[in-house]
Amino acid sequence: MHKTALALWISAVCLSLGCGSNNSDIAGKAVVDVRGKQLVLDTGNDGRDVVNEYDRWGTICGVEDGMQEVFLDDKNRSDGFVSILIYDRSTDTNVYVLADGYDYTGICSVTVKVTSNDPYEADFSVAPCDLGRAFDDAPARLVSASFRVASCEYDGPGG
């Protein structure tokens, strides 16, 4: 039920803000601590394997109006750490996690580095930060998140 709610929420965000390409190549790993249990979302080989929409993953990456985003969803998983959505904005909620059947959100320090002067490829990293469960603000902690993305959709000057 929560995965459906998150998917609907992401669809609504995409309609209002615009989303990037849904066939982006993403490699990476994130760890979240929920009630003392560390849960891992890993594309494989300790975050080094590249996945895309054609695999078992849902992937989105985009750069629009100077804001970058990355979304990774393990479509084969219904429990544990299922998905993460990261924006590089700092003044509003910018990290969304689906873990252990619940949605968690937080305002975290996000760093995006465009690689090789190519706006279609970037490294996303998130500093450890506190998250709150959507309906009751129960705490969780994003321990780490680091992703390399490619084939991003770019909507800006020249894009």
The pLDDT > 90 percentage for the chain reads: 49
Only one residue has tokens 């705490």, namely: 139
pLDDT tier at 43, thresholds 50, 70, 90: very high
What beta strand segments (E) does 49-121 contain?
A: 57-64, 67-74, 81-87, 95-99, 102-106, 110-114
Question: Residue 25: left if φ>0, alpha if ψ -120 to 50, beta else—which one?
Answer: beta
Query: What CATH number was assigned to the domain covering residues 2-155?
Result: 2.40.128
For 67, counting Cβ atoms within 10 Å of its Cβ (0-12 exposed, 13-18 middle, 19+ buried), the class is: middle
pTM above 0.85, yes or no: no
| Residues 99-127 as b or e (16 or more Cβ within 10 Å = b) | bbebbbbbbbebebeeeeeebbbbebbbe
pLDDT tens for each residue of 51-105 = 987 778 988 888 766 678 899 999 988 889 999 999 887 778 899 999 999 999 9
Only one residue has tokens 């709610």, namely: 5
The pLDDT > 70 percentage for the chain reads: 78
pLDDT of residue 155: 57
pLDDT tier at 121, thresholds 50, 70, 90: confident
